[in-house]
Structure 1
């Protein structure tokens, strides 16, 4: 329950006010109890980087060693971060929570506070404000991502760190904190399902149906120039889309889905806007999913071609792929969840999936970036395909609940 979750956000003169207020606002909307804590010896109002004055809830001197929070948050702001980096009480607080396996989070210039107080040195992968990254490279692996969650496994337990780049990524930063504290994300998940003339109607409509049963917010997006006119699918069922390509922001979804259908998938493979949306979501670590003939669009737009992803597809479409270049083709009767971590030289099978004729691939590269591609074979595997997407987006329990309701 979020009502029992507690967050401490540190505040100093010179902290970046947007990062402070956005984080506090979003966490409180999620029902997390947030305490704005001044690093000064009293509760006097503090002047932020752009001269907004914020009144803290308490002073750091009022904390006892018994006080524990589910997350400690360090906002950016050059002067504010420098002050926190020099503050021994801040260091003790961060070390206490980090070593207990609690979440610590920093945005913008905030990671220099982690560096100063030796939080996750040498092992952690982080992001930060671009101008700070050179100074951080000596002690961390740096990734160029809006938000990064680093999870380290040590001999005495797990360590968790979230970092983010700046004011423009503050919403994503706060939402990631909410997601991690919830365990499966309290915030509504969103999916985009493309549709074109010639898309396979079972794969399109059933995927939408199943995802919406899990309360995933699904947009059916037409790629056609005739806007929101009804589209004729491969077996002549007409479907009215929710949106057109011009309505879509390229990074607003947790999952992007390409249905099959010979003509529809060819149209998606030829559409540059579809390619841009797929590329953006894939590179941001979101789920990209394709079924039946849909994987030909992944190939056309070079999604994950540098990472040797394993895929499956409709049997007659396999001839369009050369096994191993750029994808490894999974045997039709195999379904595997792979994890490949190039940094550690690992390539291992984590679990054998019980759902037949689909493939789920999660890849972690040398810099800690995650990439996700889900593929499936055809109309008869659509329900399993959609249930797997629910599992990845909202957890196994939610997928099982929907499956039972469908009598699947």
Structure 2
């Protein structure tokens, strides 16, 4: 059994997140013992989407502007078309990504989530994957884009779609175990 009892993970999302891409990694991390905090634009409930339909809601724990990245070991960015599109217009969301990358902490993004990585200008020279429709944006930002279930490039973990969640979750947990063991 994995024990991430000392791991602190930040997830950032807003309305329009892909439901499974938030709830499944969150559950996997909590089940492994990590403390997971959800940050959003406000602390009003946010609603996910599943297969283009409205999905379940979740209430964020804190607002983006209250996030201190020193309090966390990893950042997880779910996809969904609307979620990262809204987040990349939030200056604090972009700064959070930059701070995690500057501190060489784990940053994991799935599906459309890497759009936020493009906005934060942190993919130049990095190997990544994503949902097909944003791959050109990633290439234009200097990334090497591949079509694989999960790509781990140093502290950066990316996946393509909900079907990749088992591999994505495993990669995040393994990276956290390695990071905690090294600390």
User: Same fold judged by TM-score > 0.5?
Assistant: yes
Assess if the C-alpha contact under 8 Å between 1:211 and 1:387 holds in 2: no
Q: Which residue of 2 aligns with 1:389?
A: 172
Shift of 1:220: 1.1
Contact 1:204/1:259 (<8 A) preserved: yes
| Alpha-carbon distance between aligned partners in 2 of 1:251 and 1:209, rounded to the nearest angstrom | 23
Q: 1:380 aligned to 2:163?
A: yes
| C-alpha deviation, 1:244, in angstroms | 1.5
Give the TM-score, by structure 2 length. Answer: 0.87
Identify the residue that residue 327 of structure 1 maps to in structure 2: 143
Tell me the distance in 2 between the aligned counterparts of 1:215 and 1:187.
5
**Residues 152-167 of structure 1 correspond to what in structure 2 (within 5 A)?**
none
Structure 2, unpaired ranges of 5+ = 179-183
**Structure-2 separation of matches of 1:244 and 1:379:** 26
Q: Give the CA deviation at 1:185.
A: 9.5
Provide closer, same or farther for how the CA distance between residues 229 and 214 of structure 1 changes in structure 2, counting only shifts above 3 A: same
Q: Residue 250 of structure 1 contacts residue 276 of structure 1 at CA under 8 Å; is this kept in 2?
A: no
1:113 matched to which residue of 2? Answer: none
Aligned residue pair count: 173
The separation in 2 between residues aligned to 1:228 and 1:292, in whole angstroms, is 24
Q: Distance in 1 between the 2:112 and 2:16 partners?
A: 11
Post-superposition offset of 1:316: 2.2
Deviation at 1:205, TM superposition (A): 0.6
The TM-score, its normalising length taken from structure 1, stands at: 0.40
2:4 and 2:34 in contact (8 A); partners too = no
Over residues 42-101 of structure 1, what are the superposed CA-to-partner deviations in whole Å (9 max), with x where a residue is unaligned?
xxxxxxxxxxxxxxxxxxxxxxxxxxxxxxxxxxxxxxxxxxxxxxxxxxxxxxxxxxxx
- Indicate the residue corresponding to 1:246 in structure 2: 65
- Which stretches of structure 1, 4 residues or longer, exceed 3 Å deviation after superposition? 184-187
1:193 equivalenced with 2:11 (yes/no): yes
Q: Residue 5 of structure 2 contacts residue 33 of structure 2 at CA under 8 Å; is this kept in 1? A: no
Q: Map 1:181-330 to 2 at 5 A.
A: 188-222=6-40, 224=41, 227-234=42-49, 235-236=53-54, 237-305=56-124, 308-322=125-139, 325-330=141-146
